[in-house]
Structure 1
Amino acid sequence: MTDFIAFGILSFTSFITLINPFGTMPIFMTMTAELDSQDRAKTAKKASIASFITIILFAYSGQLLFNFFRISVDSFRIVGGVIFFLMGMDMLQARLGKVKVKKSEVKLYIDDISITPLAIPMICGPGALTNAIVMMEDANSIEKKVTLVISVLLVMLLTYLILYSSSKIINVLGQTGINIMMRLMGLIVMVIAVEFFFAGLIPIIDGIVN
């Protein structure tokens, strides 16, 4: 029983740390600044659901998919780093907050950003997906597998609530505050991008050299 509880706590804490919904919130806020609170809530809901499905999919078949397509986690990190860097560049110039969405295109816009970049790679990035594969391999009983799924579900629910609450923050900050915060976060996102890129590139280079 102690082992079962410890596994559940480890699953929850590892996923909430790697996903870091508070780190995703500023990007979510800037990308949905032109949407009303209802559409912003839909975006948060779709991104959370997409992330949950992706993490569970990788937990059960991630290693198989990686082997089938000959994809390494390091390659995934490099791609994530490139996406983050380009996103950081746009944030640094406050471009994301200036995206005007026509009323007829709102649904398409929500569908686009809720999957990429919000769900993948912002919420479920290389770290979270790798953790899902490792934790599932450690889940040596049905009870632990169910615990893992419940832990991911709780993390996604918490992520949704955090993103949903960003509507109130947007109303307080206003467009000027959002642009200032976006530029600051752009620098941080670009630093994260560099870390992701080289964290994936260095092992690949070492493998080639050796």
Structure 2
Amino acid sequence: MTEDMYTLGLLIFTSFFTLINPLSSMPVFMTMTVNLSPKKRKKTAKKATLVAFFTLLLFAFSGQILFNFFGISVNSFRIVGGVIFFAMGWDMLQARLAHMKHTDDEDKIDAYVDDISITPLAIPMICGPGAITNAIVLMEDAVTVPKKVLLISIIAVVLILTYLIYVGGSKIIGFLGETGNKVMMRLMGLIVMVIAVEFFFSGLKPIVLGMLQN
């Protein structure tokens, strides 16, 4: 591998790891899976990272075409992501997520796992507007096949690390106890709602400014 490839690989890794930021989203994952068994928690983390991986690949190879075809912008993604995050944060603040998981019905538990694995964990928490934009831009810059293979490989590595961080961090749940988990859920709810507001207005501001300039 040439020095150019090493430099590109480092750029891809640092940009995706920073944008996905599994260390900051790990407490949210812990909160949403607090009453699931370790097996179900691993299944949730695995499905979320797999969905995020294939979503990033989809946008990397056809993102710009899809955006242009449907007339959507990254800022619209930020607004929708903010709305989803806010609703999720409100539920966490009211401890509704824990209530939803108190069930012995295996089908309902599986449905819950499938539900949160896709939204909000995979999209937009792991595969958010920033990561999607990064995938599109870097794929356009990767003009050779080796560079495209390098990009896909590093995205896979970052998401494997995300999975390991989620699974490892969820072990903390057992040490906190029921009261500790409830306190953490409400605290994370507040943080997620703040993130939601930032997402929403970071997407809304450019749209409003564009409308005023026209």
Query: Which of the five TM-score ranges fits, normalised by the shorter chain?
Result: over 0.9
| Letter of the 2:37 counterpart | D
Q: How does 1:148-159 map to 2 (within 5 A)?
A: 148-159=151-162
How many Å separate the matches in 2 of 1:35 and 1:181? Answer: 16
Query: Are residues 1:103 and 2:117 paired?
Result: no
Where does structure 1 differ by over 6 angstroms across 4 or more consecutive aligned residues?
none
How many Å separate the matches in 2 of 1:81 and 1:6? Answer: 33
Name the residue aligned to 1:87.
88
Q: Deviation per CA, 1:173-192: give whole Å up to 9, x if none.
A: 12211111121122211111
How many Å separate the matches in 2 of 1:167 and 1:194? Answer: 26
1:125 Cα deviation from its structure 2 partner: 0.6
Instruction: Report the identity percentage.
Output: 63
Q: Deviation per CA, 1:4-58: give whole Å up to 9, x if none.
A: 1111111011111110111221121121122110111111110111010001111
1:108 Cα deviation from its structure 2 partner: 1.6
Q: Deviation per CA, 1:116-148: give whole Å up to 9, x if none.
A: 111001111101101111111111211111110
Range moving further from structure 2, 69-78 or 99-108: 99-108
Is the 8 Å Cα contact of residues 97 and 178 (structure 1) preserved in structure 2? no
Name the residue aligned to 1:174.
177
1:206 paired residue among 196, 205, 209: 209
Q: Number of aligned pairs?
A: 210
Name the residue aligned to 2:191.
188
Give the match's secondary structure for 1:145: helix
* TM-score, with length taken from structure 2: 0.94
Q: Deviation per CA, 1:75-126: give whole Å up to 9, x if none.
A: 1100001111111111222222222243232222211111111100111110
Q: How does 1:12-161 map to 2 (within 5 A)?
A: 12-99=13-100, 100-101=102-103, 102-161=105-164
How many Å separate the matches in 2 of 1:104 and 1:87? Answer: 22
Q: Which runs of 5+ in 2 are unaligned?
A: none
1:59 Cα deviation from its structure 2 partner: 0.6
Give the match's secondary structure for 2:13: helix
How many Å separate the matches in 2 of 1:80 and 1:120? Answer: 8
Give the match's secondary structure for 2:95: coil
Q: Which runs of 5+ in 1 are unaligned?
A: none
* TM-score, with length taken from structure 1: 0.96
How many Å separate the matches in 2 of 1:104 and 1:53? Answer: 25
